[in-house]
Structure 1
């Protein structure tokens, strides 16, 4: 390889690293703005301002607003799903799983990821928007429902006395409670509880959800 070829290869690596850094800024900014303002309140210009990039750069990396929202949701979904399935596999391989174990395998990964990177709290708000807005039903199906169905199946096996309807409803309630704890620390503090998210809070959440499953019907 000639000196000029080596220089060109190095230049391309630098450009690629810059492009990846720009893309990261774009999606971090989109995640923050969508989390704060929702889909309807967010604009491409606000996202561009947050990212410190031209509007054209946002379109280049994310597309239009709807596509950018979908891609922003998709960005972290695989990581979250993989951690949940790995946690579930660990629970099942240990044998004799409890309802709390199964729920913990679904709930703990989100809190662990948010402890490592606070941006996951913004992502939790996006998941909440997707969960309640019919416009994003297809997004939920594509990025979340496959894993949810695995957990619903395991819970149904543990609670044969519960109908599929009861298990699905209980799971939706549990997801809502999880997202509330992830995103509502200010509200919890205003009512007299501690601000800092502690393991005891997460364990209580799991116990709370499990009690709901057992007490339903």
Structure 2
């Protein structure tokens, strides 16, 4: 992902594949074919491709509908100028789909680079010194936490059901900071999404030969 151009639509493919694999372990087998990467979903403003989505038929005569969607983002350059835009973009893309499908479960995953080059005077990008990006990312994570609390009775559009922040530092090896904690947080993130999906769409978790009570 780090070595791939920011214009490459498959930049997040490895991370999306990891999440897809971990989600399959939590979902009934009959839903596996409907969990796809780069899935197109209609929104109120326009159709958008989501990095990972469970889009399942609502009925034999009804169109398919998104049940669970995950958006993958990263901040790998100019964090000070990028983080407010990331939060604004999140609210916009989520609101558009929630207005059509208010019951959809949405997760947000973002990679933060503590070694990301920052724009200086004259438009020159230079690597950060020490921990200078700590307060920048702290503000971003605070804003993200405020948005990641969509639970009843708090149902406004623009909120999400969960987020996972992956922190890296491209100035060092290994890149991933706190690897054990990062993995545990990712598992908890996926557990929370599936738990919320089960609460809203319990019939999805019935065996195909099982009748609802």
TM-score, normalised with respect to structure 1: 0.28
TM-score, normalised with respect to structure 2: 0.28
- Whose radius of gyration is greater, 1 or 2? 1
Instruction: Name the structure with the higher strand share.
Output: 2
Instruction: Name the structure with the higher helix share.
Output: 1
